[in-house]
Amino acid sequence: MKRYDEMLPAGIWRRLDHIGVAVSDLEITANKYQQLGFTEIERENLPEQGVEVVMLDGGNCRLELLAPLRDNSPIARFIDKRGQGLQHIAFETKSLDTALADLATRNIVPISPPSIGAGGNRVAFLHPRDTEGVLLELVEYP
Ligand code: CO
């Protein structure tokens, strides 16, 4: 039997990895989602990004709750401008460098160079102006 991994398509966007939700108060929202039946699977601070993260198991896709660690973090600015709610959609990519090189040939560059995101994975974000309004995250597992 083929491994799930081998059945994934070869392109940049392999599979939906998680959906990012911006929240003001991590405790309140994590509790609310647990009341909705979601299970917390991971919790971590990402000081460089200025966020505190709770990952929830959503069956075939995880939900990433993101709360600001400081007032000037991108997630704090997002909430100031647009309120709580859907913030980004993340797809797994096999090789972040290959994906970004491919996108660069189409004049699409990430918002900033790849960094280490939730779960210790390498990540990069594409600006909503390049995606017709959706902040897209690329995730490469170690
Ligand atoms: Co994310």
Q: Is the pLDDT of residue 4 over 70?
A: no
Centroid of ligand 1 to alpha carbon of 91 (angstroms): 9
As separate numbers, helices (DSSP H) first and strands (DSSP E) second, the chain gives 4, 8
Q: Is the pLDDT of residue 5 over 80?
A: no
Q: What proportion of the chain, given as a percentage, has pLDDT over 90?
A: 86
Centroid of ligand 1 to alpha carbon of 55 (angstroms): 10
The CA radius of gyration of the chain, in Å to the nearest whole number, is 15
Average per-residue pLDDT for the chain = 92
Of the candidates 132, 123, 120, 80, the one whose C-alpha atom is nearest the C-alpha of residue 100 is 123
pLDDT tens-digit readout, 70-122: 999 999 999 999 999 999 999 999 999 999 999 999 999 999 999 998 889 99
Local structure of 132: helix, strand or coil: coil
Q: Is the pLDDT of residue 25 over 70?
A: yes
Residue 81 has what pLDDT? Answer: 95
- Confidence band, pLDDT 50/70/90 cuts, at residue 11: confident
Task: Give the domain extent around 93.
Answer: 4-140
DSSP line for 4-57: HHHHS-SSS--EEEEEEEE-S-HHHHHHHHHHTT-EEEEEEEETTTTEEEEEEE
Centroid of ligand 1 to alpha carbon of 1 (angstroms): 31
Centroid of ligand 1 to alpha carbon of 3 (angstroms): 25
Q: What is the CATH number of the domain that holds 60?
A: 3.10.180.10
Centroid of ligand 1 to alpha carbon of 137 (angstroms): 6
Centroid of ligand 1 to alpha carbon of 113 (angstroms): 15
pLDDT tens-digit readout, 90-100: 999 999 999 99
Domain count of the fold of the chain? 1
